[in-house]
């Protein structure tokens, strides 16, 4: 059985000097239009309690192009500029629905440089992609083929802080559901072991950031010694960004392989609803938690389970998975993080992480069977649906005493 999904295919490309200049100009105009429209909306909202629609912002963009000060906006494709206004409209819709915070201005240094083109802003023929305002196609490295007969509906061009250029093509693709199985797995996330499975298997944390920590520190020291505003400082900043990009790429590759394996082997995957944003406030664990990227792993499990017909169960964050004895059901009052193995009053000896993973699995199967206490999966705000976690009651998950 197959199902149709929207899937993004990301490739690296190498623009010519002329194309790079055109894209850089487009990135700047996109950022300018977004910030100027946000400024107008902010003034209207806080000054007059009045909302500005996308249609009004689009009309304002037309007027901006007629002014002498902003006439250069007509020199780039209008499609990315309109898409920037649509993204701002989505951001405000989510804000008024109380799903996210108030939209922020895009910084030239901190924001990712990108531009989105719809079908009217590019041509795709014979495996060659040509953007509006460009005479030649992009020099793309096709690391994997697009689905047979697929035509991109949206193309997003971006440049990361390391100076690498990427193009992401959103296409319709058909995904075959994985063969049904009776296997189920509970996952306990950690730092020493990235994940511990209810089967007793522990997946060692690769610690990508720690492995490149010396290289990163050396690049950051060199950056700190360069004069501000100099070309050498810009080169040093790029070297730091290259180290960060290497770490992020290796981490993402590892998480993709791990999540794909878990989804292929199990019909039901049970995880905890960890609040990473709060956990990283612990100064001693923040670096390790950020390097583990639990949130990214959860996102991968969510969409892959949806694609391949698997069930993802997310149990309450307050469920005492580590302190609960899987044999008798007693809950310890305290269990410090340095205690990795403990003995219950009933005599059962537990490995902290394995016991937690097994308790997570048992609780997940229980709430999955009754349909109560299962946290709904997060949905993309791009579709207009809620992306905010909804808290289930704390007492909905539990394991009965024997």
Could you list the active site residues?
A: 188, 272, 353
Residue 102's closest CA among 112, 113, 93?
93
Cα-based distances in Å from 379 to 6, 66, 94, 194, 306 = 14, 39, 12, 25, 11
* Interatomic CA distance for residues 25 and 86, integer angstroms: 20
Tokens found for residue 330: 């007693």
Separation between Cα atoms, residue 396 and residue 169, nearest integer Å: 42
* DSSP helix/strand/coil, 245: helix
C-beta of residue 166 within 8 angstroms of C-beta of residue 10: yes
Spell out the residues 6+ positions from residue 231 whose beta carbon is closer than 8 angstroms to its own.
Answer: none
Q: Is 276 helix (H, G, I), strand (E, B) or coil?
A: helix
**Nearest by Cα to 302 from 354, 263, 353:** 263
CA–CA separation, 395 and 315 (whole Å): 11
């Amino acid at each position: 059985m197959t199902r149709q999904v929207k899937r993004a295919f990301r490739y690296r490309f190498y623009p010519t000097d002329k194309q790079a200049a055109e894209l850089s100009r487009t990135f700047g105009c996109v950022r300018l239009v977004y910030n100027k429209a946000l400024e107008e909306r902010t003034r209207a909202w806080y000054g007059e309690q009045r909302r500005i629609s996308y249609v009004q912002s689009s009309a304002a963009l037309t007027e901006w192009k007629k002014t002498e000060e902003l006439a250069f906006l007509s020199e780039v494709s209008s499609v990315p500029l309109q898409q920037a206004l649509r993204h701002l409209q989505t951001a405000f819709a989510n804000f008024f629905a109380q799903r996210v915070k108030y939209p922020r201005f895009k910084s030239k240094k901190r924001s990712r440089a990108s531009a989105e083109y719809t079908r009217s802003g590019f041509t795709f023929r014979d495996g060659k992609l040509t953007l509006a305002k460009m005479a030649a196609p992009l020099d793309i490295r096709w690391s994997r083929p697009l689905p047979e007969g697929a035509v991109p509906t949206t193309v997003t061009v971006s440049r990361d802080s390391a100076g690498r250029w990427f193009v992401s093509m959103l296409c319709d693709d058909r995904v075959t559901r994985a063969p049904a199985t009776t296997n189920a797995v509970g996952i306990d996330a950690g730092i020493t072991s990235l994940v511990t499975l209810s089967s007793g298997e522990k997946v060692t944390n690769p610690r990508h950031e720690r492995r490149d920590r010396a290289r990163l520190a050396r690049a950051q020291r060199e950056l700190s010694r360069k004069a501000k505003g100099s070309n050498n400082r810009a080169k040093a900043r790029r070297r730091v960004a290259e180290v960060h990009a290497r770490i992020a790429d290796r981490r993402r590759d590892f998480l993709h392989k791990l999540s794909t394996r878990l989804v292929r082997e199990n019909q039901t995957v049970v995880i905890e609803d960890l609040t990473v944003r709060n956990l990283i406030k612990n100064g001693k664990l923040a670096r390790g938690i950020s390097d583990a990227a639990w949130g990214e792993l959860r996102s991968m499990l969510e969409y892959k389970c949806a694609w391949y017909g698997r069930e993802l169960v997310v149990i309450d964050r307050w469920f005492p998975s580590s302190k609960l004895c899987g044999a008798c059901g007693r809950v310890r009052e305290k269990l410090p993080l340095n205690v990795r193995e403990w003995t219950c009053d009933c005599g059962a000896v537990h490995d902290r992480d394995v016991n937690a993973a097994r308790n997570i699995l048992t609780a997940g199967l229980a709430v999955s069977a009754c349909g109560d206490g299962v946290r709904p999966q997060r949905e993309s705000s791009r579709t207009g649906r809620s992306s905010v976690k909804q808290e289930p009651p704390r007492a909905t998950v539990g394991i009965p005493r024997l």
